[in-house]
Amino acid sequence: MKDSGRTLKLSSYDDIFSTDESRQDETREKVQEIPLEELHPFKDHPFKVTDDERMQETAESIKKFGVLVPAIARPFEEGGYELIAGHRRKRACEMAGLSTMPVIIRDLDDAAATIIMVDSNLQRENILPSERAFAYSMKMEALKHQGERDGTSRQVGEKSWAVSQISADAGESERQVHRYIRLTQLIPPLLDRVDEKTIALGPAVEISYLTPEEQFYLLQAIEICQSTPSLSQAQRMKKFSQEGRLSKDMLEAILSEEKKPPEDRIVLKSDRLHKYFPKSYSTEKMEKVIITLLEAWQKRRQQNQEH
């Protein structure tokens, strides 16, 4: 029989194994040392990076032990990489005198990158109201965008579905998520006062419904009267604004009112409570645990009195 002229070559087991291994290696995430100058901040990053005492402590730790948790970044259109998680670590590396830091590079679209950026930062303690507000808002838009692609949002309503997801991830009630997102409607000087705790969250949510012009008038009235709105005052301001009757004079008149003396109440500061709870616990979760413990304590006292 005539030879066909074709030789059938079978791959060895080693060749097949090596090929599979190399393919797996290509898809496996790797930690790379990236020059700090090639790492650019995430667009509209809502979390502040400040050279405070905590940052100094982080820099000192990096000097001794290095960066223990790699940052996450994605390729940047203009060259280099866009940081997704690790903005504080990058600044700490700069303060520690390093020129590179360990980074995991991922190919992520805007929505996925935003969700990772928000979730990684929400694990931190002492997040400012403004940071949480813009973080929740950015994540809501990212989730809505993902929902539009897979049809989820159309089935249950874009905003309600996204807020429900944020609520579950953050351990906050949906109402509280909505309240924080409303803060993004405040003009920056008023939002700064919320961060400084000179305006409480409740009144801040109410005055977020004022027009930007009315908010500027309110800011002037706060300076003149040396007073910030209570919840009831803020609610009246919102009502008058919706009726089109809110003026400079009215704002000053409301703020000039003599406020009722504060109720006799006990205030437990969150920084004192946090040391007794896991970092993931929200204020509402801590409150539930405290109430449960108090109820159990009261029950034991009643039993002891009966005996």
The 10s digit of each residue's pLDDT in 12-71 is 444 544 455 544 544 567 899 999 999 999 999 999 999 999 999 999 999 999 999 999
Examine the domain organization and report whether 157 and 206 are in the same domain.
Answer: no
pLDDT, residue 14, reads: 46
Residue 59 is assigned to a structural domain of this protein: yes
Which residue did the predictor score with more confidence, 296 or 128?
Answer: 128
Residue 224 inside a domain? The answer is yes
- The region of weakest confidence among 74-78, 130-134, 184-188 is 74-78
Identify the pLDDT of residue 265: 56
- The verdict on 41 and 103 lying in the same domain is yes
Q: Examine the domain organization and report whether 44 and 96 are in the same domain.
A: yes
Same domain, 102 and 132: no
Burial class (CB in 10 A: 0-12, 13-18, 19+), 236: middle
Nearest Cα neighbor of 177 from 241, 111, 122 is: 122
Give the pLDDT of residue 30: 87
Looking at the fold, whether 134 and 92 belong to one and the same domain comes out as no
pLDDT of residue 303: 65
Indicate whether 161 and 179 sit together in one domain.
yes
CA-angle at 104, arms to 98 and 107, nearest 5°: 135
Tell me: do 246 and 195 sit in the same domain.
yes
- CATH number of residue 59's parent domain: 3.90.1530.30
Range of the domain at 157: 126-184
- Closest of 107, 106, 69, 74 to residue 88, by C-alpha: 69
pLDDT, averaged across the chain: 85
pLDDT at site 16: 47
Query: Of 89-93, 154-158, 291-295, which one has max mean pLDDT?
Result: 89-93
Distance in angstroms (rounded) separating the CA atoms of residues 32 and 27: 14
Domain finish residue from 53, 77, 108: 108
For residue 101, list its beta bridge partners.
Answer: 34
Could you tell me if 58 and 101 lie in one domain? yes
In this predicted model, what pLDDT tens digit does every residue of 190-235 receive, in sequence order? 999 999 999 999 999 999 999 999 999 999 999 999 999 999 999 9
- For residue 243, being part of any structural domain is answered with yes
DSSP 228-267: ---HHHHHHHHHHHHTT---HHHHHHHHTSPPPPPPS---
Number of domains composing the chain? 3
Ramachandran bin of 151, using left for φ above 0, alpha for ψ from -120 to 50, beta for the remaining angles? left
Pair (180, 199) in one structural domain = no
Residues 37 and 98 grouped into a single domain: yes
Of 168, 184, 200, the residue at which a domain comes to its end is: 184
Question: At 94, is the pLDDT very low, low, confident or very high (cuts 50, 70, 90)?
Answer: very high
Residues 179 and 194 in one domain: no
Please check whether residues 174 and 201 belong to one and the same domain.
no
Residue 56 lies inside a defined structural domain of this protein: yes
In a domain, 89, yes or no: yes
User: Do residues 140 and 181 lie in contact, with contact meaning Cβ atoms separated by under 8 Å?
Assistant: yes
Instruction: Among 61, 78, 108, identify where a domain stops.
Output: 108
Mean pLDDT to the nearest integer, 159-185: 92
The answer to whether position 165 is within a domain reads yes
**295 has pLDDT over 80:** no
Q: Is 260 a member of any domain?
A: no
Burial grade of 84 (CB within 10 A; 0-12, 13-18, 19 or more) = buried
Distances (CA, A) of 288 to 102, 122, 177, 283, 295: 40, 21, 18, 9, 11
Domain annotation covers residue 50: yes
pLDDT tier at 150, thresholds 50, 70, 90: low
